[in-house]
Structure 1
Amino acid sequence: MAYNLESLVQILDQILHPDHHHPLYVLDSDKKEQIENLLQRTRFLKHFTENSSSAVTNSVYGQQSLESRIRDAAHDAEDVLESRLVDQILSCSEGESFIFSPPDLGKIIEQLDLAKAEMMIIMDYTQKGDTSSAAVSSSRQDPNPKNIIVGVGEDLIQLKDRLIGQASKALQVIPIVGMGGIGKTTLARNLYDDPSVTSHFDTFAWATISQDYNKQKLRDVLLSLLEYDVWDVKPWDDMRRFFPDDNNGSRIIVTTRESSVADYTGSGSSHHQMDLLKDDDSWNLLRQKVFAPEETCSPELENVGKKIAKDCRGLPLAIHVIGGILSQAETNQDFWEQVSDNVSSTVADKDEHFSNILSLSYNHLPNHLKPCFLYMGAFPEDYEIRSSRLINLLVAEGLVRPISDKSLEEAAKMHLKALVDRNLIFVSQQGTNGNAKSYSIHDLLRDLCVRRACEEKFLFIHGGASHDLARSTSCLRRVCSHGPFSFDDAYISPEQSCLARSLLLFKDIKGITGLYLMLSKLRLLRVLDLLQTRLKEFRKEILQLVNLRYLAFNISRPLPSSISTLCNLQTLIAKYGGNFITLAMLKGAVICGIVDMPQLRHIKFKEGTYVRYHDERSRNRFVVLDNLQTLSPIAISEISDRVLEALPNLEKLGIFWDREVDDVRDLSRLHKLHTLKCMSSMLKKVNFSSNLIFPPSIKKLTLRCFQLLDDHMNEIGKLPNLETLKLRGCDFLSRKWEANDGEFCQLQFLLLEQLMGLINWAADDTNFPRLKHLVIRRCPDLEEIPLAIGDIPTLKVIEVDNISHSAVASAREIQEAQLDIGNDDLQVRILGY
């Protein structure tokens, strides 16, 4: 059941238990019993659907399944409750509380009672002997979370030879060709990460171009690779300029489903064709996905497993997905045979067969994970989704099932990890702490995701390959536009659009006037993402959206204090026009309304903008924001003891140095703070203040555009839990950095980027005993990387880019010294030469 009733439970619970610190309303006592009855029935059905087999919820009565009738009744309840709430909030004066009187909910309660009764009857007939639900509820972890490749040894040998073994110095383009899901990208990634390949080339880069290809997208990809600010020429022509046939041994690998590769290679090159796996390799891959190396597979399970693997017809993606199902279940022969029957029953044409196999992964998902998976369809093809953005969206949508002793954000992370363990989504970027930084989804699984999301009235997708499918749905609760969008499309009725809860625009909208007209109708919106549309001002149409939980926008002017009208807002993301220097130096984000927004969980400003208040009155009026976890950035001039006391649960903080500071800023009271970013202006770098007292909880610290002294680094080195340190655009006034014994005892990742004045760096393995990854970029003054760094036993990667020749020589010396003592695990990547 894609709609897991969690959203309705949260709405009813909030109505019954409003924030007692900042009460917006008081529930009409005459209506309390009806709300409690509805909540009781909703929780019962939620528990029942989460713990019953799909045969129950998919049973059909008349023309509509039980699942869809429960969903529609829940939608109706949300609509009437939130409509009444919005009406009453807008009719009250700012800051005035009111008595909330919900409409009569008798018909909705009656609908849910009928659904409950039918569910009980059906369950008596269908649940006996059904072990599928129990089998897949196991919490077994995927024993092989990394990409496993089987049966492609010969492919690796041949491609390695073409990359580094052939004598030819001419430019070569090497297309890897094969059907979707066969493992082209996995094979290319293994080649890309292979030390023997990376050490052969001076420069290497990775990029993804979607199937929905055009020259603009190619331009964007090349820009991201080359980090250019201006591009004036035709993309294909300029691509040849950056990959010239200059007898320098350049190689380009392209993965494509197309057998015709002339566009990539020209007439003189050949492609590498990938074939489907043989039966033995298929079983070997499935076995490795399901069982840990120390586990054994019984003969009974092996017989069933080989049949399952064979029915996957050699497609690695299908095997990975089925392996994800089996790895999450107990090793139960009955369940394996049930999966085998489902796989073999889909014998049809090839495309439909694989589609049906992948559908099994969705059908076997626990109920609370289904909406999280379907939500991936909201994003365009090949879109890399930032972890923080996805998590905040899932929370705002009400799709996250609470977990005891966990925040909703932590619960969302666990939901996404469960999807990764099942091979339904994958982590495309890992952060320095090992956590997921961004997620992606395979295009075949995205096709499944989009199809099911539209069928189940979960998403309305406008534009792109899913546009025609979107026309068939009659529900616009979540609208996602992958192309220029307008609600004037003939197949969208006003009645449908006025009930929309989400609007995510990945392209600019058709006309700014039409945008405001449209927003005036979308009065129940919970999520509004307009980062791709430049707004001139914060108009009243946005201020009327008092049901918003998530708001992201791009604007030219500062935020007004009236933003506090958005009393339910949880996440606020603002991007300002102009560049970092101008905004940071001249205005910042002048705002005071956030002091009256107690539901806020995350405040993020982009493009160097920072929080500043209008006047002393707003600063002194700062109330306790118990829910606030992220605030980035705020001017250091605004940080006072009173402000810090108001942020007891802050986890991520950004601070902008709008002036030099002499008095102490004591952050030690922020006991939950684990991520801190400090920055000043690139035009006028300030001396990093030694009067800043860090909390010992800090795990990740970023310093940007400061003047640093050796003493500053020694103080930072004493932080007991620091795991990640990034220094960007800083000037070392003392010209040196000499680490002391026992410093940086937990540091795992160190980035030194665009540092000026740092000439001498003295350190050894006693200073960074747990360092895993060292990155040095654009540090022209650094004469040498400390040779003793190579002796750190945990160090895996040293990456250098555009540094002095002597520093590059020291990096090579470190690598050679480690190879001499048998340490071939250390990778030294030298770029820019």
Structure 2
Amino acid sequence: MAETVLSMARSLVGNAITKAGEAAAAEISLLIGVNKEIWFIKDELKTMQAFLMTAEEMEKKPRLLKAWVEQVRDLSFDIEDCLAEFMVHVGSKNLSQQLMKLKHRHRIAIQIRDLKSRVEEVSDRNSRYSLISPNTDEHDTLSDEFRYWSAKNIDEAELVGFDDAKESILNLIDVHANHGLAKVIFVVGMGGLGKTSLVKKVYHSINIVNNFSCRAWVTVSQSFVRTELLRGLIKQLLGGDSENEHFKGLQSMQRNEKVEDLVEDLKQGLKEKRYFVVLDDMWSIDALNWLNESVFPDSNNGGSRIIVTTRDASIIQNCAYPSYLYRLEPLKTDDAKQLLLRKSNKSYEDIKRGKAEKVFDRILERCGGLPLALVAIGAVLRTKCIEDWEKLSLQLSSGLKTKSSLEEMTRVITLSYTHLPSHLKPCFLYLSIFPEDFPIKRRCMVNRWIAEGFVDAKFGMAMEDVGNSYFDELINRSMIQPCRFYSHGVVQSCVLHDIMRDIAISISAEENFVFMTKGFVSGIPPENIRHLSIDGRQDSYLSFDLSHVRSLSFFYNPKEQLASLCSPQLRMLRVLDLEFSLCRVTQNDISNIGSFCHLRYLSVKKGSYIYHIPRSIRKLQGLQTLNLKRSLITKVPAEVTELRSLRSLRCSTLGVYSHFEFTTRDPRKSLVTTMKLPLILPHLISGDKSSEVVAEFRKGLSSCWTHSNGVSVPKGIGSLKELQILELVDIARSNKKAVHELGELTQLKKLGVAGVTERNVNYLCEALQKLSSLCSLRVEAKPFRGLHMLEQLASPPPFLHTLKLKGSLHEIPSWVGKLEKLVKVQLVFTKLKDTESIQVLGELPGLKCLRLILNAYIGKELVLCHGKFRGLKTLRLDSLEELRKVTFEERTSPKLETITIQDCSSELAVCGTANLQSLEKIKYFAKGKLVKEDMHGERPVVQAGQSQSAHHREDIKAPETIEKSQTSSLEKGESSQSRPRPDVLRTLQPISATTKLKRSLSCPASALIVK
């Protein structure tokens, strides 16, 4: 009996061992086959991407083909995710590390097997339904060669054919009727007719500037926020700013000001003023009723005027004020021809020589006189040879010449998307992530494109340069509109026209490219969401699968907790953008940041409650951009030096303490407080404030209560060879070796350092002399120290275009005069004593922007000497307490356009403005409020009925600072423009086209592509 049992036991054990061996063999076979199958799916991915590019170029696709394209696209995304997982967990590891990753390797092996099966199924499906055949015609694509033309050379904002319309609207406004109730003029027309551009010409006209005490331009979009709109009106009409009593505390994320309070302040402020307001792009009847009944005072009899641009004429019936209608019609043939020729960069002689006159006329006819269509199609024509215009003309819908509808125009605009090169299409669609009328920063956009893999590497070019060329190409093709420029003339930020945005959203939804919570109320969300945009102005319940999300962007104040959203479920996340969220990011929100092993871009809003970078950040080997500016971080951990792909590292801290400061006057008391504070904080502080106080306390401890804005960097920082941006480094608290290693970062283009002293300035100068690619440099002395030793920098970076210095100087270092490419100089606390001390700046041929801030100059008089500052365009004088007189000698600053004076003495006089040929305006600010604006140049400020003798004064004096009692004449309704002006406007030269373009882009809704 015993022998039988023993035999059975042996048999069972043997079977178990055999099965275990078979399972192990199968497992080993599975793991071994991974590398082979990886190559298979890589090849399949290349073929899929080629097919998708070909499909994108097809104007019309059968429904079956559309369905198949969608399946292929989803499969290609899944393959990309699998390859990314393989590279992170397996491909980049050595043998010992791979053994530690067997669990991940097994999971990836199963994914690859499933993907291979899906590839075969998709291929079989094509065979069954004959979706494509070998004889499919190839479609024309745009040439890879693209001639880059500056958008500034073509001023679409000054559209042709609007002069008569402008005069008609001015007649309706009746600017000289300075009595009676407010009048509303409605400018009605379909999107793309140029309503915004037309009204913009009226808004900047001399008649409006001279006859209204205050003006405002606000965009009333479909999803406008009342408090935001009211803040914009108050800022422009009453001179409000972030320092205004209405806006104190807006640096915090909880914006709790009441609409009723803002409305009452606005109504009281406008009671005695004659105001001119433009409400651009009005969509809602409710919005107009609210503005009529609640915002604008009904007792104002000063002859105020309101212009409303809208697509819907029905809202006029609900206007409470006397109203007039101006219906905008399409451009006449001659005007449309002129605009299309201008945008296509061709002359009529070119067309005749190319024998394309009939084709041109056909395209012109089909555009139907719509300015937006003309601008968009003209941009496409500019990229094609005249001989190829025939093919393009056949693709245009003929509906535009008979029916001017939004749908028909959208087809024309969509055509400009269709003709984008394949590398620009995802870049354009990616812009739909941002909310309506949102200013999109160039640097942010380019870095995100790189992180997403949209930017192709080119031999001899940095990735940032390639991405910037993409951005410029979208501008030149009129797909995006520049709205702000850097001092050196490069576009700093852009906006997306609402119709262009509608197209991008529509295509993104069709291709499951971007999912926006804004507008999604109910229903089934799409599967496999890749790019998720969360708009906090609308509740969103994210109960769907986030495992495929590649980018997560927060805007405004999301209802969800960031810590709950930033969970391991987002394992494929590449981009986490919290920069534009209105809620404070805390340490807890990024505590598990190391689990996002695919993360390449991390940006957090300024003023976060983050006090240290988690050590788990070492796991983010693909991280390219880390932006933690103005947080509570005081040092960069050594783990960051392991991130060899890092291209942008922007970390800085707040140099002030809001709640407490460590003091050495009573060290015993400070020590007791320091020991007890962490224990009593949770009991004494409310939950909303607890994170802030704890973070500030931890910041003080880690930095010994320093007041520096910089952060310390560790040894090994020189290993980040790809780094292009590094700021703000406190070299006083950093290791000496780390300061030496700054010179090894030869790819650096932007560097900011703080904590400069006599002891470390030598190390800094040695490092700077090695940074030959540096374009922007910021240097701050340690508090209560100076920058005198900077003179020893023998060989400065030759390509610097921006220089910012903070700290006392005897004079400007002589090496600054060697920087021929310098465009912008900002001096803070430099305490220069006389005019001779800044003359080296006057010799710089390219200097366009000069800022003197916080006692940067402590002399009584500042003289811009004869023949100096030949390229200067903007001058800012801020908080110069000792300055009493600014003098412009003859032939100085011939290109100076704007002078801004803020928080200087009320006795400050500006003399010699008659010598400034290009001067447009002088703006005066006091405590953050615009108290006076003197208009010059093309917009003289003679008030109606004002004596001409008032214009023979030579000097301008700044007004008294406005007190909180608000008793000044400006607050009582007196126009700042009614004050005497110097007689300096009669010999001005015409403003350049570039100046006109920048001026036309100064209002929120203006752009190259008109509404």
TM-score tier (shorter): 0.7 to 0.9
Three-state SS of the structure 1 residue aligned to 2:79 is helix
- Give the Cα separation in 1 of the matches to 2:610 and 2:53: 46
Question: Greater shift after overlay, 284-293 or 546-555?
Answer: 284-293
The equivalences for 1:121-200 within 5 A come to: 122=132, 125-127=135-137, 130=139, 132-134=140-142, 138-139=146-147, 141=149, 145-147=154-156, 148-158=158-168, 166=176, 168=178, 177-178=187-188, 179-191=190-202
- Cα distance in structure 2, aligned partners of 1:158 and 1:259: 26
User: How much does 1:74 deviate?
Assistant: 1.6
Instruction: Sort the Cα spacing of 1:669 and 1:524 in 2 relative to 1 into closer, same or farther, 3 A.
Output: same
- Residue 227 of structure 1 is aligned with which of 241, 254, 278? 241
Instruction: Name the structure 2 match of 1:215.
Output: 226
CA displacement at 1:404 relative to structure 2: 3.2
Q: Does 1:546 align with 2:612?
A: no
1:564 equivalenced with 2:613 (yes/no):
no
2:910 equivalent to 1:808: yes
SS in 2 for 1:356: helix
Alpha-carbon distance between aligned partners in 2 of 1:477 and 1:525, rounded to the nearest angstrom: 9
2:577 pairs, out of 509, 523, 529, with 529
> Could you say which residue in structure 1 is the equivalent of 2:477?
422
Aligned partners of 2:95, 2:216: CA distance in 1, in Å? 56
Q: Mapping of 1:501-650 within 5 angstroms?
A: 501-512=550-561, 515-516=563-564, 518-531=566-579, 532=581, 533-538=583-588, 539-553=590-604, 554-576=608-630, 588-605=634-651, 608=654, 619-637=714-732, 638=734, 641-650=739-748
**Quick check: 1:384–1:428 contact (8 Å CA) kept in 2?**
yes
Distance 2:96 2:184 in 1: 64
Rg larger in structure: 2
Deviations 1:697-729 (A, max 9, x none): 3433343653343x2265433323212112356
Q: Distance in 1 between matches of 2:523 and 2:625?
A: 28
CA distance in 1, matches of 2:322, 2:96: 70
Normalising by the residue count of structure 2, what TM-score does the alignment of the two structures yield? Answer: 0.68
The one of 844, 847, 855 aligned to 1:744: 844
8 Å CA contact 2:854, 2:879 repeated in 1: yes
**What letter matches 2:78 in structure 1?**
D
Q: 2:789 aligns with which of 681, 690, 696?
A: 690
Mapped to 2, the partners of 1:800 and 1:535 lie a distance apart of 35
Distance 2:95 2:54 in 1: 45
Instruction: Give the unaligned 5+ runs of structure 2.
Output: 1-30, 247-256, 293-305, 307-318, 657-698, 705-710, 918-981, 1000-1011
Q: Which range moves more in the overlay, 533-542 or 390-399?
A: 533-542
* Amino acid across the alignment from 2:547: C
Change (3 A) 1:810 1:315: same
Query: Is 1:103 the counterpart of 2:109 in the alignment?
Result: yes
Aligned with residue 387 of structure 2, among 332, 335, 360: 332
C-alpha distance in 2, partners of 1:269/1:718? 62
Q: Which aligned pairs between 1:732-771 and structure 2 lie closer than 5 A?
A: 732-733=832-833, 737-740=837-840, 743-755=843-855, 757-764=858-865, 766-771=867-872
- When structure 1 is superposed on structure 2, of 159-168 and 618-627 the one drifting more is 159-168
- Which of 137-146 and 412-421 deviates more? 137-146
Q: Quick check: 756-765 or 528-537, which moved more? A: 756-765
Bigger shift: 95-104 or 356-365?
95-104
CA pair 395-166 structure 1, distance change in 2 beyond 3 A: same
Q: Assess if the C-alpha contact under 8 Å between 1:650 and 1:672 holds in 2.
A: yes
Q: Could you list the per-position Cα deviations for residues 375-433 of structure 1 after superposition, in whole angstroms to 9, with x for gaps in the alignment?
A: 11100011001111111111111112233322221111111211111211111111111
In 2, Cα distance between the equivalents of 1:107 and 1:77? 10
Mapped to 2, the partners of 1:168 and 1:418 lie a distance apart of 47
> Is contact 1:528-1:550 (8 Å) kept?
yes
In structure 2, do the counterparts of structure 1 residues 433 and 224 end up closer, same or farther at CA, with 3 Å as the change threshold?
A: farther
Could you state the TM-score of these two structures normalised by the residue count of structure 1? 0.81
DSSP 3-state at the match of 1:329: coil
User: SS state of the match for residue 626, structure 1?
Assistant: coil
Q: Is 1:256 aligned with 2:281?
A: yes
Summarize deviations over 1:431-490 as a string: whole Å, max 9, x none: 111111111011111111111111101011112xx325995533311110112688854x
Counterpart Cα distance in 2 of 1:95 and 1:524: 21
Looking at structure 2, the residues matched to 751 and 272 of structure 1 have their Cα atoms a distance apart, in angstroms, of: 46
Tell me the equivalent position of 2:72: 70
Secondary structure in 1 matching 2:808:
strand
Most deviating of 101-110 and 72-81? 101-110
Q: 1:480 to 1:376 in 2, by over 3 A?
A: same
Change (3 A) 1:63 1:55: closer
Question: Are 1:701 and 2:802 counterparts?
Answer: yes
Ranges in structure 1 where 5+ consecutive residues have no aligned partner: 1-27, 578-582
Deviations 1:544-565 (CA, angstroms, capped at 9, x unpaired): 1111001123333222343223
Alpha-carbon spacing, 1:363–1:823, altered in 2? closer, same or farther (3 Å):
closer
Contact preservation (8 Å) 2:796, 2:815:
no
5 Å matches for 1:236-275?
236-246=263-273, 250-257=275-282, 263=291, 265=306, 267-268=320-321, 270=323, 273-275=326-328
Give the deviation of 1:525 after TM superposition.
0.7
Q: Are residues 460 and 94 of structure 1, via their aligned partners in 2, closer, same or farther at CA, if it must alter by over 3 Å?
A: farther
Aligned: 1:319 with 2:374: yes
Distance change (3 Å), C-alpha of 1:685 and 1:182: farther
**Alignment partner of 2:83 out of 81, 84, 87:** 81
Counterparts in 2 of 1:566 and 1:69: CA distance versus 1, 3 Å: same
CA distance in 2, matches of 1:78, 1:764: 62
Q: Which of 1 and 2 has higher RCO (CA within 8 Å, sep 6+)?
A: 2
Tell me the distance in 1 between the aligned counterparts of 2:94 and 2:560.
32
How much does 1:526 deviate?
A: 0.6
What pairs with 1:374-393 in structure 2 (closer than 5 Å)? 374-393=429-448
Could you say what secondary structure the match of 2:626 adopts?
A: strand
The percent of aligned pairs where both chains have the same amino acid is 22
Whole-Å separation in 2 of the counterparts to 1:242 and 1:136: 57
Aligned residue number for residue 407 of structure 1: 462
- SS of residue in 2 equivalent to 1:390: helix
Alpha-carbon distance in 2 for matches of 1:566, 1:327: 43
Q: CA deviation at 1:213?
A: 1.7
Cα distance in 2 for residues equivalent to 1:185 and 1:680: 47
Contact 1:276 1:313 in 2 (8 A): no
1:355 is matched with 410
- Checking the alignment, whether the CA contact within 8 Å between 2:516 and 2:533 is kept in structure 1 is yes
Q: CA deviation at 1:641?
A: 4.8
Q: Tell me if structure 2 keeps the 8 A contact 1:207–1:221.
A: yes
1:601 and 1:630 in contact (8 A); partners too: yes
Question: CA offset at residue 215 of structure 1?
Answer: 1.6
> Could you list the per-position Cα deviations for residues 245-283 of structure 1 after superposition, in whole angstroms to 9, with x for gaps in the alignment?
33xx54333323459766364855545635122341333
Backbone CA RMSD of aligned residues: 4.4
Q: What is the SS of the residue equivalent to 2:135?
A: helix
SS of the aligned residue for 1:519 comes to coil
CA distance in 2, matches of 1:429, 1:720: 24
Shift of 1:42: 3.9
Q: Bigger CA drift: 258-267 or 619-628?
A: 258-267
